[in-house]
Every structure is written in C-alpha cells, then in structure tokens.
Amino acid sequence: MDSSLLAVRDLRKHFPVGGSLFGKARGVVKAVDGVSFTIGSGETLGLVGESGCGKTTTSKLVLAAEEPTAGTIEFEGRNIADLSRADLQDYRAKVQVVFQDPYSSLSPRMRVGDIIAEPIKAHEALSAAEVRGRVTELLELVGLRPDAARLFPHEFSGGQRQRLAIARALSTRTRLVVLDEPVSALDVSIRAHIITLLEELQQRLGVSYLFIAHDLAAVAHVSQRTAVMYLGKLVEVGDSLELCAGPLHPYTKALFAASLPSHPDESREEIVLSGEVPSALSPPRGCSFHPRCPFAMPRCSEQEPRLLEASPGRRVACHLYSAS
Amino acid sequence: MAPLLRVSDLRAHYVGFGGTRVVKAVDGVSFSVEAGETFGLVGESGCGKTTTCHAIVRLLSPSGRIVSGRIELEGEDLVKKSQAEMRRIRGRRIATILQDPMASLDPLFSIYDQVAEPAYYHRSLRGRSLRQRVMELLAAVRIPSPERRMKDFPHQLSGGMRQRIVGAIAQAGGPRLIIADEPTTNLDVTIQLQYLNLLKDLQRATGVALIFVTHNLGIVAKMCDRVGVMYAGKIVEMQSVRGLFYRARHPYTKALLDSIPKLGVRQPLYGIPGQPPDLSALPAGCAFHPRCQRATDRCRVEEPRQHSPNGDGHVRCWLPIEEAAARG
Amino acid sequence: MATIPIGADRTIATRRAARRGLRALRQAPLIPLAILAVLVSVAILAPVLAPHGRLDPVKPTQEQCLAKYGTPDCPYVDNVPPFWSRGGRLETPLGTDFLGRDVLSRLMYGARISLIVALTGALFAGAIGTVLGVLAGYMGRWWDEIIMRITDAWLTLPSLVFAILLSSVRGPGLWNVVLILALVFWSRYSRAVRGEVLSIRERDFVKLAEISGIGKLTIIWRHLIPNVMNTVVVLFSLQVGVAVIIEASLSFLGVGVPPPEPSWGLMMAQERESLMEGRWWLEIFPGTCVTLLVLSANMLGDWLRVRLDPQLRNR
C-alpha cells in the first residue's frame, strides 16, 4: 500500500453555504465526505460519477488548489499538508492537470512554445536554449511538429489543442496527471487519438493518471481500476474489467444500465433510477443512495454502509454485500 | 403513401463578408421521415446537421440562405412558405427541442404559461380546456402533482424536471414531427436515460415522428429506426439502424464505429487521421478522402454519387465496404 | 506514434490570416482614420504648416488699417472674417480673432495641445484604472472591496465639478489638465477591467497556471493584462473623445490651459460672445475640430471593439 505514488485517506471537504461576509453559514455542503484511494506508479485510476458527486472537488484537493477539511493526501510517502513552501512547489511541478475544454485552457495571447514552457520556467532553472529543446521534445512526444511552438493556439484544432495541453502537463518531470474529462469536449473522431496518445505516454514515461469522466466506457477503457462516486463518497472500487463484467453496487449497476448501447441489439438489464441526485446540502440519512435504490432495505435508511472488501481488490459500500 | 417529411436535394449556405466567403453547410441533402418513426442524423460538429434542422423550420441565421431544394411536409413545400405561414407550422406541426433545454425556458414565466402558449396559439384552447390540456401534458411527461407544479417557475424545478417541461412544450401544439437537436448533450447518464425513455413513451402514445440529431452513436443505437450519417454537408450513408451498426458501408461510418470505446472491452481504438473538414475550403472529390484509408485517385478528383448497393439505404462512396469485409 | 502534420494547417492558417487582414482593412473606417491622420500630422507639423505665429497678430496691410481705423498704420486688425466673406483676405483664410491673430495657425497649434492633453490624459487614466481593476478582480477579497468602493464613489462624482476643484487647487496649466483627466477617468477603466478579469480568472488557463505553482504577479502580467488589453484599447479610444471635451470645457471655464497658448477649448471660451455678434468663425472652426476628433475617435473605438473580439471578428 505504501508503494503507491498517491494515497488519499479519508479525505473530506465541506463548504459552508448561505453565509455572507459577516453572517454565519446556514449549512454545510459535504462535497467530498470520506474518500480514500491510492494510485500506483504508472497506474490509471478512473473516477466516475454524475455532476455534483464531488469528483471535481476531489481533483482540486489532489491538485492542492483547495485545502481539505479533514483527511490526508500522501504523495511519495509524504503528507502534502506538511510540505514546506519549496517542497509544495515541487509537488505542483510533479502533479499537473489537463482540463476538459482545450479552448479555454490555452491562453489566446501566448505562443504555444511559451505556454508549454511556462511550468518549466517556474520550476527549473534552465537556459533559454534548454527550455526550447525541452519544448521541442514535448511537442514531438505528443505528435506535433516542433515548429508549432511559434504559433498561437487559435491556429490549432480542438484535438491538437488537447495535445498541447497534454504536452504542457508533462513538461516538468510530471509523475501524476489529473485528467478532468479530457476527451468530452472533442469530436468523436478525435477522441480515440487522444485516448491512445495518453495510453502510449503512460507506457513510455511511467506517469500515473487520475482519469475523471462521466463516460463509463471511456473510463473503463483507459484505467486499470475504477472508482464510482456518489454524493461525495466512493460507493465501489475495483478492477475496471471486473467492474464492467459484474457491477455490485446498485448505483454502479444503474450507471451501466444507463450508459448507451454500442449497437442496437445489445440487451441490458434495465435499471431506471427514479428521481435525481439529492442536494448535497441535505443528504439522506443512512445510505445516501437509498431513496433512489431499487433494492433498498429498512436498514439502508438508518445505517450508513461502509466501503468494505467484497472480493480481493473489490470494495463496495452497500448493505447487500455486508454481512449483517 | 407520401412520407410525413421529405427533404430533397436541400442546399443551405452561409454567405459572409459581402459574398467573399461561402460556407456550404448543407450541400445536397435528401431524406424522408415516415409518420411515427425516428430518424437519426449523426455527425461531428460542423457537419451541417444543425443547419439542416434550422433549414427545415426555416430559422436559419440572417447570413444563411436555402439555395435550392424542397422540404415537403405532408406534401406542402415549406421552402415556398412565407414567414407568417411558417409561424403557423412551427409548434403546431413541427416542434423543436433545442441543444440546451435548460436555457429554453423563460425564467420570468410560470410553467403553466410556457406549456400553455403553443396550445393557446395553435390549438386555440382557452380557459378550462386549456388548463385541462396543460395538466394532461404535464402528466404525460410524468411531472408529479402537475396541478401544483404548473404554478412554479423554472428555477424552482430540478434539471430533469425542466427537461421534461421542455418535452411537454414540444408536445403542446400537437405536432406530427419533433426535431430534437442534441437534447441530452449536457445531461448525466442516468438523467439522459430517463429523458430518452420519456421521448420514446411520448412517441408511442402520440405517434409523433422524431428527427434525432446527435453525435453520439449510442443514442442512435437506442433511439433510431433509420440513420443518416452526415459529413461535410452531405449525407454520406443512410441505412436502417441495424444495417448501419452491422454492415456499415461508408469508410467514415465504419471508422466512427471503431473509434468508440466499448464497455468492458479493452481493444485498441481506431483513430480517424486528420481533422474534421473546414466547410469553406473543402477538398476536391470526396470530402472525406484526405482522412480515408481506402482513398484512390478517383476519390481525390471526382465526387462520388449517391447509390444503393442492395436496395436498403444508400451510400456516397466509390469503394463502399463489402458486406463480408465489414463483418470480418 | 503517428505525427499529425501541421504544416498544411499552418499555411492555410497564414493564408487565412492574410485574407482576414485584407478584409479588416476593407472594413476599416477610412474616413475617421483619415481625419485622425490629418489632425495628428497637422499637430506635429504645425510650425512648418502654420502660415503665421500662434501668439502674435498678423501684420495688416495699409488698406485694412485705413478701412478699419482710418490711419495707414496700425498694430493689428481684429476680427477679420474668413476669406470668402466680405472683408476677408486669403492671407488669413479662416479670419483673425479679437487680437488679430490668425485663426488657422492657432487651430493648428491648438491641435497639438488638445491632442497631447487628450491622449496622455486618457493614457494615464488607462494605466491607473487597468492596474487597479486587475488587482481588484484578481486578488479579490479586501483588495476588491476597497478598490471597488473607491471606484463607485469616484464614478458618482460629477467629473466636471471635480475637475474644477482640482484645477483650482493645482492652478491652470497643461500638465495639470493631464493630471486632472487621469484622476477623473481612471474609474471608468477600473470598473470595466475588473469585470473582465473576473471572467478571465475563471478560465482554465489561469487555473492551470495557479496549479503549476506560478506566482500571482506573473499570472497578472502574462495572462491577465494581455487578455484585458482589448477592453482597455477600446475604452481608451472612447475616452480620448471625452477627454478632448473635458479639456475644452475646462479651458472654456478658465481653469484649463492658460492663455495665450491656443487650445481648441480655450479659443471657443475666449470668444463666447462672438457668435451672438455675428463673428461665427471664431466659434465654428474650433468647434468643428473638436467634433471631428471626438467623432473619429468614437468610430475608431467602435471598429476596434469588433476587430479585437475574436468572436465578432470572424463573422
């Protein structure tokens, strides 16, 4: 367990709501409420969930863009809350991110070379020529020609821009890249290229990914392990292929049922969830999924299930699988 | 019997900068929709699928023009109608659900006002019967306690609820055809499934025909009876949905199908080389040839004509994929 | 790994950029540009172009003196009308003022003063306002609270009254007018810039820079300021017009550029009764100059607004 690159333990992030500058907050949104996972070196962990489930907040915590309310994030064995200023800078160099929208993630007024070089200049003392050399390497790494460095982002298509964003994320001996819906904004015919590129880069560089998406098929394709999130909590974690073959948690089952067929005659177990994700401001008592769950038992509305090992490497938070 | 809607050789161009730039967004599109069926229009962004929809209801932006072609709704050519006549057709005979259903509700009007509007204008319902109709519509889209809900304003409803209200508004004028332009793009998967099932139920109940515009082949597989695949302003392949998924004939269709990750299968994905085309500077010959692995010299020079290899549907390609090859 | 050739893309992009440039030129507001060019070159070349001095009266001819004063010798002849009116002379094509100075020469020198005051005033205001606006928008919290409350208060000040107050403290003078303009107008920039920054800082490229541990000042300098320049340039061109008017008003009220230096506002101010008494040329010519400058600056600003917005530009 300690050989992992990133270890997140019982991470919580609560946001006060309704308070003004002087007034007291009226409530608390538990955006992330006790999440634990690990990512090994060179591994991809997929994080799936619907909007508002807390996956974006989780990514912000991992990126040290937000401070957790409770819990720890350990990177290479050290808690990032205890890092000195200089070590935190080093952490920021090693953990980078690729966002969903490649049109918003590249500054329109900077040349591509400067965009990619920005993190390098912030973290390493290299000469101008060395920086240029690194930029050339990176551009080739993501399948673009070196003379792209002189151009502005608007001269590139969406897929090429996403390649540039990936090159930037890899510019500083990066160990972990948070991929926040990296292909959702791209044209269908371009997505496969980016997914393949990410897989190739992982094999070559041994970099780890935290792959966040709502498209189960894409997540399961890219990641070795997949974690399913609902209302700030992980409900199921396991090997991607096993998870796809036999989802355990009713919410995971519903997600799979809802993901669209890949051809017209594919038959699916139809689990149509009633209602919508409840507000995180007042989550239901007990298991937060029980109001929508087709298998809910009396116990589910009283006692919160814990994330327990159901089979080796497979953890589920559901009373259906916990010995009573 | 004549189809409900027949679009023949439709061409819609955008002209900008005093005629110096012409974007042939829709360039010779023909298809027909039978009563009660679901026709899918698939393609990537910028292939002209949205322009096709806007042209059918004659709501192109000011720089857009229908250059030629016919759009026959139950035998009447919509291209020849005045805007005043079109107003009586939109909402009454053709309804549209736009890309962002969340933004298509006016925050200043109650649910009742918005659902009642098409029924008021197009069905001339007033007073009690109008109220009755609104109740029925809300019940049909499974809004719980419609009586109470119709006094609400959009911000008081959840996303999925608003989605269903938009569905109810589309139904309110009693249309024969609903054009849905990427209605579920920004929705979560479980809500998307709810909404797609709802549209199917409505279709079953009222026999309305649907044109479903999407880039998502999964939605096509779930919803559609027949599919047209658009590329660079043209329908490059048209087939029944099963035909398309099992015997794709156009290399573009095949490539699209191969580029989607399938649940629980970790095969390498096929990436289509190159970029989606720029509609104002299309290559000569077949517009897909720069990205096509099967392209020959002929494809680079001569534009392929539309032909039907064996009756079912048609394809625009000089070298369509053989059935056996497609299966293997 | 397959390399995506971008060479082809680039030539297309360059060619497209060139085409776009040509089109932009065709759509440029040629008349305002020409007017501004003429005004600026006249201001620069005033010593060469002006037929007479700006401060000294034009030496009259004997006939003029005879006709006006009955003696063949006089220091100057005042209020000579333009050349096409009765009594006008080609030597002073736009007439002379109450001290017999050539109106055309004074207008030419006046262009210098009016343009310098307007441009530098708007520029300083822009600099102050941009810096404060970016700080308020990006740093947030109490920076925002304090800067924006001051800005709001500033915007409610009647600018002319405030300017009069300032100039009565500082006394009249060209650079004082510039200072006044900067102090009056910075708030217009800071409010607009702050709004712009609020939206830019939510864009992913700013978040990316923050996540990679890049300093705040660097982010401001490299990401925020280049992206608000559109807004600032447009505001600048509009403010130049307003600054000319304020300068004219201040001079008109006697608290602007001190006489005898000619500025367009001052020229109008000194002749405020002449319109009533039929000496229209003393008011109309400087007034026309002010109008032309303000109108062209506004039209140019409007064009820039469209040109600098990538979403509007490509339509």
ipTM score of the complex? 0.78
The answer to whether residues C172 and C73 belong to one domain is no
> Which of B76 and C271 is assigned the larger pLDDT?
B76
The answer to whether residues C210 and C256 belong to one domain is yes
Q: What angle do CA A152, C207, C192 make, to 5 degrees?
A: 80
By C-alpha distance, the chain A residue nearest B253 is A189
What number of H helices and E strands is found in chain A?
9, 12
The answer to whether residues B91 and B134 belong to one domain is yes
Residue where the block lists tokens 């809350």: A81
Dig out the tokens for C126 from the structure: 């822009």
> Which of C28 and A193 is assigned the larger pLDDT?
A193
The answer to whether residues C124 and C70 belong to one domain is no
Give the dihedral of Cα atoms B21, B22, B23, B28; nearest 10 deg: -170
Chains near B (3 or more Cβ pairs under 8 Å): A, C
Query: How many structural domains is chain B composed of?
Result: 2
The answer to whether residues C87 and C159 belong to one domain is no
- For residue B244, the number of C-alpha atoms closer than 13 Å in the C-beta half-sphere is 32
The answer to whether residues B71 and B189 belong to one domain is yes
The answer to whether residues C159 and C90 belong to one domain is no
By C-alpha distance, the chain C residue nearest B16 is C315
Residue B234 lies in a domain: no
Select from A157, A214, A265 the Cβ nearest to the Cβ of B189.
Answer: A214
CB contact set of C284 (below 8 Å; sequence gap of 6+):
none
The answer to whether residues C208 and C71 belong to one domain is no
What pLDDT does residue C314 have? 46
C223 CB neighbours in chain A (<8 A) are 107, 110
The answer to whether residues B186 and B273 belong to one domain is no
The phi, psi pair for B185, rounded to 5°, reads: -55, -40
Summarised one tens digit per residue, pLDDT across range B106-126 is 888 888 988 888 888 888 888
Establish, for the pair of chains A and B, how many residue pairs have beta carbons separated by less than 8 Å. Answer: 125
Q: How far apart are CA C62 and CA A4, in angstroms?
A: 104
Residue C159 lies in a domain: yes
Helix, strand and coil percent figures for chain B, each rounded to 5:
35, 25, 40
Q: Test A265 with B218 for CB contact under 8 angstroms.
A: no
User: Quick one: which of C71, C83, C178 has its CA closest to C126?
Assistant: C178
The SS3 call for residue A228 is: strand
**Bridge partner list, B123:** none
The answer to whether residues C262 and C195 belong to one domain is yes
Q: How far apart are CA A259 and CA A243, in angstroms?
A: 14
The answer to whether residues C173 and C91 belong to one domain is no
By C-alpha distance, the chain A residue nearest C215 is A122
Residue C120 lies in a domain: yes
Confidence of residue A188 (pLDDT cuts 50, 70, 90): confident
Which of the 8 DSSP states describes residue B38? Answer: E
Domains of chain A with bracketed CATH: 6-19+26-316 (3.40.50.300)
Contact B244, A196 (CB under 8 A): no
Percent of chain A predicted with pLDDT > 90: 36
CA distance A304 to chain C (A): 35
Residue where the block lists tokens 């996972």: A37
> Which of C65 and B128 is assigned the larger pLDDT?
B128
CB contact set of C39 (below 8 Å; sequence gap of 6+):
C111, C115, C289, C292, C293, C296
The phi, psi pair for A316, rounded to 5°, reads: -135, 140
Q: Test A263 with B245 for CB contact under 8 angstroms.
A: yes
Position C160, amino acid: L
Strand order in the sheet with A78-79: A27-39, A6-17, A70-75, A78-79
Mean predicted lDDT score pLDDT of chain A: 86
Residue B81 lies in a domain: yes
Q: How far apart are CA C164 and CA C34, in angstroms?
A: 34
Establish, for the pair of chains A and C, how many residue pairs have beta carbons separated by less than 8 Å. Answer: 89
The SS3 call for residue A209 is: strand
User: Quick one: which of B8, B41, B4, B99 has its CA closest to B225?
Assistant: B41
pLDDT at A47 over 90: yes
What pLDDT does residue A166 have? 94
The answer to whether residues C90 and C137 belong to one domain is no
Supply the CATH number for residue B207's domain. Answer: 3.40.50.300
Within an 8 Å CB–CB cutoff, is residue B207 touching chain C? Answer: no
Contact A192, C2 (CB under 8 A): no
The answer to whether residues C82 and C206 belong to one domain is no
Residue C298 lies in a domain: yes
The answer to whether residues B182 and B123 belong to one domain is yes
What pLDDT does residue C108 have? 87
Q: Test B190 with A265 for CB contact under 8 angstroms.
A: no
Query: What's the average model confidence in pLDDT over B3-27?
Result: 83
Residue B279 lies in a domain: yes
Q: Which of C45, C77, C100 is the last residue of a domain?
A: C100
Q: Which of B175, B209, B224 is the last residue of a domain?
A: B224
Mean pLDDT check: name the lowest of A94-103, A224-233, B310-319, C144-153: B310-319
CB contact set of A70 (below 8 Å; sequence gap of 6+):
A10, A11, A12
Contact A54, A232 (CB under 8 A): yes
Q: How far apart are CA B282 and CA B51, in angstroms?
A: 17
CB contact set of A181 (below 8 Å; sequence gap of 6+):
A99, A100, A212, A213, A214
Residue B238 lies in a domain: no
Domain of residue C82, residue span: 60-100
The phi, psi pair for B165, rounded to 5°, reads: -60, -40
**Bridge partner list, B94:** B90, B177
CB contact set of C175 (below 8 Å; sequence gap of 6+):
none
Residue B148 lies in a domain: yes
The answer to whether residues C255 and C111 belong to one domain is yes
A200 CB neighbours in chain C (<8 A) are 1
Residue C9 lies in a domain: no
Which of the 8 DSSP states describes residue A20? Answer: -
The answer to whether residues B216 and B120 belong to one domain is yes
Summarised one tens digit per residue, pLDDT across range B159-194 is 778 888 888 888 888 889 999 888 877 677 877 888
Strand order in the sheet with A308-311: A95-98, A176-180, A208-213, A44-48, A225-230, A233-239, A314-316, A308-311
Q: How far apart are CA A39 and CA A4, in angstroms?
A: 6
Each residue's pLDDT, cut to its tens digit, for chain C (315 residues) gives: 344 444 444 444 555 556 666 666 666 778 888 888 888 888 888 788 877 777 777 777 777 777 777 777 777 777 777 777 777 777 777 777 777 788 888 888 888 888 888 888 889 999 999 999 999 889 877 888 888 888 888 888 777 787 778 777 877 777 888 888 888 888 888 888 998 998 888 888 888 888 888 888 888 988 888 888 888 888 888 888 788 778 878 877 777 777 777 888 777 777 767 777 777 777 888 888 888 888 888 888 778 777 766 545 544
Mean predicted lDDT score pLDDT of chain B: 84
The 10 Å Cβ neighbour count of residue B108 is 9
By C-alpha distance, the chain A residue nearest B260 is A192
Residue C3 lies in a domain: no
Domain of residue B310, residue span: 256-327
User: Quick one: which of C300, C303, C307, C302 has its CA closest to C37?
Assistant: C300
Q: How far apart are CA A294 and CA A273, in angstroms?
A: 8
Residue C265 lies in a domain: yes
Within an 8 Å CB–CB cutoff, is residue C2 touching chain B? Answer: yes
pLDDT at B293 over 90: no
Supply the CATH number for residue C233's domain. Answer: 1.10.3720.10
Residue B248 lies in a domain: no
Residue C135 lies in a domain: yes
Query: How many structural domains is chain C composed of?
Result: 2
Which of the 8 DSSP states describes residue B267? Answer: P
What pLDDT does residue A38 have? 92
The answer to whether residues B163 and B279 belong to one domain is no
Which residues numbered 36-75 in A keep a CB inside 8 Å of some CB on B?
50-51
The answer to whether residues C83 and C144 belong to one domain is no
C3 CB neighbours in chain A (<8 A) are 140, 143-145
The answer to whether residues B204 and B280 belong to one domain is no
Residue C23 lies in a domain: no
Select from A217, A255, A262 the Cβ nearest to the Cβ of B221.
Answer: A262
Within an 8 Å CB–CB cutoff, is residue C3 touching chain A? Answer: yes
CA distance B299 to chain A (A): 21
